[in-house]
Amino acid sequence: MSVSIESNFGAEYAAHLPLLGDSIAQLLAFFGVKRVYGVGGDFVANLINALDKQLAVLPSSNEMHAGFSACAQAELNPLGVCMTTYTVGSLPCTSAAALARTEGLPVVFISGAPGEAEINSQALHHSVHPHTAWHTDLDAALNAFKALGVRAERLQGQRHSGQPNVAAEQFLQLLIHAYVNRQPVYIEVPRDLIYQPTQALSLPTCPSELRPQALNLSGAELIASQIRTQLIQAKAPLVFLGEKLRLNAPLLQKILTFCEQNALPYATTWFGKGMLDESKPLCLGSYNGVFSRLPHQEYIESAADYVLELGTAIFPSDTNNAFSSQTHAIDNHGNKTMLKGTAQWETDIAAVINLLSEQIIRDTQVNLSAETEVEIRAESGAEYKPELAGHCDAELGYHHLASCINAAQQASERPFIFVPEVGNSLFASFELTTLGSDIGRSYLANPWYAAMGTSLPYARAVADQLNEQDSKQPVVVLTGDGGFNFQANELINLQKQGANLVIVYMRNNIFHLGKAGDAPIYACNHQGFDPKLLIQAYGGRGHLCYHNGEFIDTLCDCVASGGLHLIEVPASLDESCQSDTTRKLNCYIGYRNGQAEATRLWQELCEKRG
């Protein structure tokens, strides 16, 4: 005999049950989610209506961009959220899911799905189903995300008439998995469950209570004692901060306070760039062996006699470890303590830092023996870095790009937030000076997974975050024309939100990074294309700059006036006009591809710095 929830548990309990759509909205809000990025569709329409009551459900120009914006959102918040329709919407998000998986980002990919009542022998128009098939495959998207190593589940409806479904609890467990493990999840929500009652939940007061509260590993006091002894004995200590710390702001701040109290110089990895204010006297910048050019690089590579390495990757990445050139001084240092952070939320690092912070260990100031920086002042008021001295009228290219932007930032009232695109722009951007930020990060990029076409979706999420905090801090996107053409359709959403954004558009009309021939595949642009007219169509202003001085003046003016701007810079293909990092990287790529001359130059480079 069939029984109802009301007859089984009583009318009062049945009335207490929320609808699933409302529970999903409340759970996302509990984790601090205020915005959801996505593209609408039939199977997700009910969920959009449910979420729209409590959250901002924002459009993206396509599903992949929605996923990339959610990745940037997850860099700055407890969770990022992307929402699409079934298969035709969710499958394009797999590239963003791969990025989130690789970068360790807690992104929740939500997809509408066929209602449980719709599943039968007839193929659905959204299913991946060839006309010659003998069976339907409703799990194509689930399996695609699982193949990336992403936890992927479809919410389950009522299985007994007397028991409410537990779909809200299932959804909560998936959110907890993403939040605690800093990994993406994929959730399909059958559309006929949205307006069905689900079991009510009892939540803690805040998400942080869901994190591991106790450290199950022992020996923190022994590690702290070893580090304390080493720091006392060291004449030139160095703290090297890994990329894990960029998603753990409280621990990062605790470590920086410890460094300040003990006068300990510190540096970070390429992947950690932007989490530090590089204007601080003890900050040595973002280091990556032979690919770096830092004012205090000699201290890192020659003077440091003890390294405390915190929060770096368990398994080293070639990108982040000087592309296996054996020139990364931290990798090869003979006297260091590595505390990788093997416990969830790096509670093991926190335990050691807490013990070390109980008392001042050393108060001796370290002599960094910095290179003398000669500055000259231009008519614009910008202060130039050494490599720009006497070259205000020089032709601008990637070789001067970082210095010019640094000069403009120095002259600006507010520090910049940088969003570089994968390619030459990304590798030139490691020479930018990152300062403080209203949103906690001043540089967002994805050099690990390296998915081209992310900078504008990232900038869109950054602009939303700045608007939420009523901040006028400018965002500067650095992109080549190839990367820009991947994503120009996202400009419509930057226009709608009135973003305070400057796009530095380096134009050479080809995919240049790693170019090894003249095949048509490297051609990414047409000479007749005018990006200045394009930006005008989106309510922005276009500019064209050839020389260092006019670029700095133009960038300063763009930042001061606000709004949407694009500065087109013709970028020479001559090797002398490439950034130092790009020249070395192209040499490395040629070496890996077996080119004889590149192999000789690469080996010579490594021998000099080995």
Confidence band for 392, pLDDT divided at 50, 70 and 90:
confident
List, as own/partner pairs, every contact residues 296-301 make where C-beta atoms lie below 8 angstroms and the sequence separation is at least 24, other chains included: 296/265, 296/368, 296/369, 296/370, 298/369, 299/236, 299/238, 299/265, 299/366, 299/368, 299/369, 300/238, 300/267, 300/329, 300/330, 301/329
pLDDT for the residue 148: 96
522/358: higher pLDDT? 358
How does pLDDT run across 509-568, given as a tens digit for each residue? 888 777 677 888 888 888 899 999 999 999 999 999 999 999 999 999 999 999 999 999
List the one residue out of 402, 323, 329 whose CA is nearest residue 579: 402
Number of alpha carbons in the 13 Å side-chain half-sphere of residue 398 = 30
Residue-level pLDDT at 383: 38
Between 142-156, 307-321, 510-524, the lowest mean confidence (pLDDT) is in 510-524
Write down the pLDDT at residue 269: 95
What is residue 214's predicted lDDT score, i.e. its pLDDT? 75
Average confidence (pLDDT) over 61-66: 96
Q: Which pLDDT does position 373 carry in this prediction? A: 35
Give the model's pLDDT for residue 590.
Answer: 87
pLDDT above 50 (res 371): no
Confidence at 123, pLDDT banded by 50, 70, 90: low
Q: Within its chain, how far is the Cα of 122 from the centroid?
A: 42
| Ordered DSSP codes for 547-592 | BHHHHHHHHHHHHHH-SEEEEEEE---SGGGS-HHHHHHHHHHHHH
List Cβ neighbours of 444 (8 Å cut-off, separation of 6 or more): 72, 75, 274, 417, 418, 419, 458, 462
Q: How confident is the model over 11-51, as pLDDT tens digits?
A: 899 899 999 999 999 999 999 999 999 999 999 999 999 99
Percent of residues, the chain, with pLDDT higher than 70: 94
Give me the pLDDT at residue 365, please. Answer: 80
Rounded-to-integer distance, Cα 597 and Cα 96, Å: 37
Angle between helices 63-76 and 455-468 (to 10 degrees): 50
Task: Say what percent of the chain tops pLDDT 90.
Answer: 69
In this structure, the strands spanning 80-84 and 35-38 are parallel
8 Å CB contact between 434 and 276:
yes
What is the per-residue pLDDT for 448?
67
Q: Quick check: 378 pLDDT over 70?
A: no
Annotate 228-271 with DSSP letters as a single string. Answer: HHHHHH-SSEEEEE-GGGGG-HHHHHHHHHHHHHTT--EEE-GG
Model confidence at 377, pLDDT cuts 50, 70, 90, reads very low
Q: Which domains does the chain have, with CATH numbers?
A: 5-210 (3.40.50.970), 220-356 (3.40.50.1220), 386-578 (3.40.50.970)
DSSP for residue 517: S
Q: Which long-range contacts (CB under 8 A, 24 or more apart) does 164-167 make?
A: 164/5, 164/17, 164/197, 164/198, 164/199, 165/20, 165/193, 165/196, 165/197, 165/198, 165/199, 166/198, 166/199, 167/20, 167/23, 167/193, 167/198
| pLDDT higher than 90, residue 452 | no
| Candidate ranges 3-7, 388-392, 499-503, 605-609; pick with highest mean pLDDT | 499-503
Between residues 77 and 520, the one the model is more confident about: 77
C-alpha dihedral over 377, 379, 382, 387, to 10 degrees?
-60
Residue 345 to residue 184: CA distance in whole angstroms: 16
Helix (H/G/I), strand (E/B), else coil: 36: strand
Calpha distance 176→182 (Å, rounded): 9
| Per-residue model confidence as pLDDT tens digits over 199-249 | 999 999 999 888 877 777 788 999 999 999 999 999 999 999 999 999 999
Give the side-chain half-sphere CA count within 13 A for 208: 5
Name which of 91, 119, 97, 109 is nearest 193 in CA terms: 119
Q: What is the mean pLDDT of the chain?
A: 90
Strand 336-339 to strand 306-310: parallel, antiparallel, or no bridges (unpaired)? parallel
Res. 1 pLDDT band, cuts 50 70 90: low
- pLDDT value of position 119: 79
pTM: 0.92
Half-sphere exposure of 108 (CA within 13 A, CB side): 30
pLDDT 10s digits, 81-122: 999 999 999 999 999 999 999 999 999 999 999 998 887 766
Residue predicted with more confidence, 320 or 120 = 320
pLDDT band at 128 (very low <50, low <70, confident <90, very high): confident
